[in-house]
Amino acid sequence: MFLSWITGVYLVYLAIPIALLIMGSFGELWLNTLLPTGVTGRWYVEVATDPSFRRAFVASLSVATITCAASVAIGLPLGYAVFRAQSRRVRAFARVLYQLPVALPPLVLAFGFILVFSSDTLPWLGSIWLLAAGHIVLGLPYFLQTVVSDMQRLGLRTLEDAAESLGSNGLQRFMHIVVPALRHSILAGLIIVAALSIGEFQFSNLVAGFLNRTYPVVLLQAFYGATGFACAATVILLSLAFLAAVSGSLVAGGATRMKVNVA
């Protein structure tokens, strides 16, 4: 009874800001009142037609896509190498090393990027690629953690031994066994990376150039304007993150079911 009360109160506490945002995004006017007055859809139209928001939306999706692609390209071989490392000490050291960015404030990373990439030799500050590069550093620990723990759970080493004894070479093992067996955790890792990249503010705010600002960075400016506009812009960001999570889990679940049902 007591426990369900706590759970209930906590859920309400979680839902209230989202509910207020959604309410605000459809409200005509919201000044000094507990709830907005009037109903309108015009804030969404305004956000959708605002050129800087449209730009930011595309920039965010581009950065997230690059970040995800790079996470797989870098994270999978890296995680595999850590998992396969012979020495226990090497594995432990690698794990600490790749988990470090979790403890690193994005602010620090941003300062580092600014120092290095504002020079004349590497004048790339403000490009989409540099934003993605930072997001990779921030997202990779979560991707690696998800994938490496799945490798352990599956007993990937024994699966590979089996494949090897059955006649497959290294590349075949990677493509036939490692990647497909890990598909669920790769997807789960990518959802985390995508959500992180889409919502990231601290780093992006400092490193993004004026032309390639990401959605959260532009969103901040919206709060200096009309409340309804700001709410609508935020709800779009929320929906985007929600969509990524739901579609990701549907794809992962669907892949399993399809395999089973084909007769």
Which positions touch another protein (CB under 8 A)?
154-155, 158-159, 161-169, 172, 176-177, 180-181, 183, 259-260, 262-263
Nearer to another protein, 34 or 88 (CB): 88
> Per the structure block, which two tokens stand in for 97?
């090393």
Q: Which is nearer to another protein, 42 or 176 (CB)?
A: 176
The structure tokens listed for 171 are 């590349």
- Minimum distance from residue 95 beta carbon to another protein (Å): 22
Beta strands in the chain (DSSP E): 27-29, 37-39
Q: How far is the CB of 153 from another protein (least distance, A)?
A: 10
Give CA–CA dist 249/263, Å, rounded.
24
Task: Give the nearer residue to another protein in terms of CB position, either 105 or 180.
Answer: 180
Distance CA 122, CA 178 (A): 37
Cβ–Cβ < 8 Å for 232, 44: yes
Instruction: Report DSSP state, residue 126.
Output: B
Q: Which is nearer to another protein, 228 or 248 (CB)?
A: 248
- Cβ proximity to another protein, 50 vs 164, nearer residue: 164
In the complex, minimum distance from the CB of residue 25 to another protein, in angstroms, rounded to a whole number: 42
Q: What percent of the chain is helix, strand and coil (3-state, nearest 5)?
A: 80, 5, 15
Identify which of residues 119 and 149 has a Cβ nearer to another protein in the complex. 149
Structural contact between residues 178 and 166, judged by C-beta atoms closer than 8 angstroms: no
Largest CA distance in the chain: 73
Strand partners, 29: 37
- Helix segments in 127-226, DSSP class H: 128-154, 156-165, 170-173, 179-181, 183-199, 202-207, 215-222
Smallest separation (angstroms) from another protein to the CB of 258? 11
CA dihedral 125, 211, 42, 27 (to 10 degrees): 20
The least distance separating another protein from the CB of residue 168, rounded to whole angstroms, comes to 4
Instruction: Give the nearest distance from C-beta 149 to another protein in angstroms.
Output: 16
CB of 152 to another protein, least distance (A): 14
- Shorter beta-carbon distance to another protein: residue 156 or 240: 156
